[in-house]
Amino acid sequence: MLRNRKYFLGSILISLIFYLWGYFSLQYDFFPAFLIRTAIEYTLGSHRILKSNTTSGGQRLGRSSHIDIIKSIPYLGSAKTLSINNFKAKSFQPAMVFPGYNLYTTGSDDEACLIDNEGRLLHYWKYPREKIIWRSPVELRPKYRGWRSFWPLETLDLFVIYDYLGLARLDKKSRLKWVYKGGCHHDLWITPDGNIYVLGSRHEKEAFYDNRLVVSDYIIVLDLNGHERQRIRLLDLILKSKYRFLLPSSEQLTEPYSLDPLHTNSIQVLDGNLVDKHSELFKKGNILISVRNLSSLFIIDFQKQEIVWAWGPTNISFQHKARLLENGNILLFDNGLKTSRVIELDPISQKIVWQYKGIEEETFFSKLYGAAQRLPNGNTLIILSQQRKAIEVSPQKDIVWTYTLISDDNSNPLVLYELQRYSSDYFINNLFDKY
């Protein structure tokens, strides 16, 4: 009897040890966490496996491909992932579609998907913010909605912004390399010399606004290990410039400016390739930013810390994702008040040289978010975030490709935050198959 009791207690102790080992391996990401998560996802995933749908023009995931995808997911966290949401990918004119891979994030979770132009999932990253513990004054923060922007390396390392919280670097298996907890938000840019320029914020009392507490935007420079090198406060640059008049007064600091007078939402560091076209505007190291709540674009001489160019008010409204193109023009998504458009602006003449407003049969409007990317073949990839739709249009404004997310969860509606196309040779060959 005593011997049986010892066996019984011994079995309980061994079971408890394995249970705790498994539990803490999941919490702190050591062996056998990956195997446990794979088994859980495979067990729970059977009711969520997507079937083939040839009528949509795209391919959905069946069981065999689902198993392959699971191999790339080291941390599952929750059952719901954007990779298993319904979607439609369609090529209207396949020969005109720019070949490559599409990386995107939604508002569903801390995750990102890389797909091909047929909608097939190639790679997946996920790292919940609950595993990165930091506190922030939530009363001034927008509602947290998952990963915002990203920057992939050819090795499938991924820099991701936890919106208004921080910036993290993950490896291709979603293991955390480092996190910078600097209130990072919206957008980042990495230069060839390895500097990371990211938008950040602090809550500060501002004399210009009668010492009210406001969200104050910064440009923050980090190295590739996440160490801060420099920061400048954007409000200071505007206050000392001739564009000071664009700022709302303290009395005007109500909706949509309440507590957030700037709401900067995109950043790009210029490489100097166009300096012969205009030495002041296109100087190497200058920074192009989009300031949503001022409906303005600015080019900043970062070395002198002064604004050298501005454009926007009365021409655009609450725009996103301004990018300087190789031809010296600026492409941006103009959200507008009732309808949206994508415009290409000549910053020297300040004339709009190309724009896209959608087609008459469909609404072209995203009140929030939105983006546009000029592709190497001259096409433009447009993100209608709130419609959860990406479209690729030719220079002649013909639609050649679309990608649409279909949300099946009304309590947690998706948006298409960002979708960027990368050329077929951007990532290391066959890296997707090496897990």
Full residue range of the structural domain in which residue 239 is found: 87-433
Contact present, 392 and 100 (Cβ < 8 Å): no
Lowest mean pLDDT among 30-34, 133-137, 178-182, 417-421: 133-137
Mean pLDDT of the chain: 83
Give the per-residue pLDDT at 141: 53
Whether residue 199 is predicted with pLDDT greater than 90 in this model: the reply is yes
Whether residue 321 is predicted with pLDDT greater than 70 in this model: the reply is yes
Which burial class, exposed, middle or buried, applies to 18 when counting CB atoms under 10 A from its CB (0-12, 13-18, 19+)?
exposed
∠ CA 222-228-232 to the nearest 5 degrees?
A: 90
Residue 233 lies in a domain: yes
Residue 58 lies in a domain: no
Residue 75 lies in a domain: no
Residue 24 lies in a domain: no
Tokens standing for residue 100: 């490559």
Residue 313 lies in a domain: yes
Residue 145 lies in a domain: yes
Number of domains observed in the structure of the chain = 1
Nearest of 322, 339, 206 to residue 270 by alpha carbon? 322
Average pLDDT of the segment spanning 256-281: 92
Residue 298 lies in a domain: yes
Q: What is the dihedral of CA 53, 387, 333, 167, to 10 degrees?
A: -80
Give the per-residue pLDDT at 409: 59
Domain of 148: which CATH number? 2.130.10.10
Residue 297: beta bridge partners? 290, 311
Give the per-residue pLDDT at 250: 87
Question: Binning pLDDT at 50, 70 and 90, where does residue 73 land?
Answer: very low
Global pTM reads 0.81
Nearest of 247, 288, 291 to residue 265 by alpha carbon? 291
Give the per-residue pLDDT at 22: 67
The model's pLDDT over 76-119, given as tens digits with 9 standing for 90+, comes to: 333 334 444 456 778 788 899 999 999 999 877 899 999 999 98
* 328: region left, alpha or beta (phi > 0 left; psi from -120 to 50 alpha): left
Residue 421 lies in a domain: yes
The model's pLDDT over 152-169, given as tens digits with 9 standing for 90+, comes to: 999 999 999 998 889 999
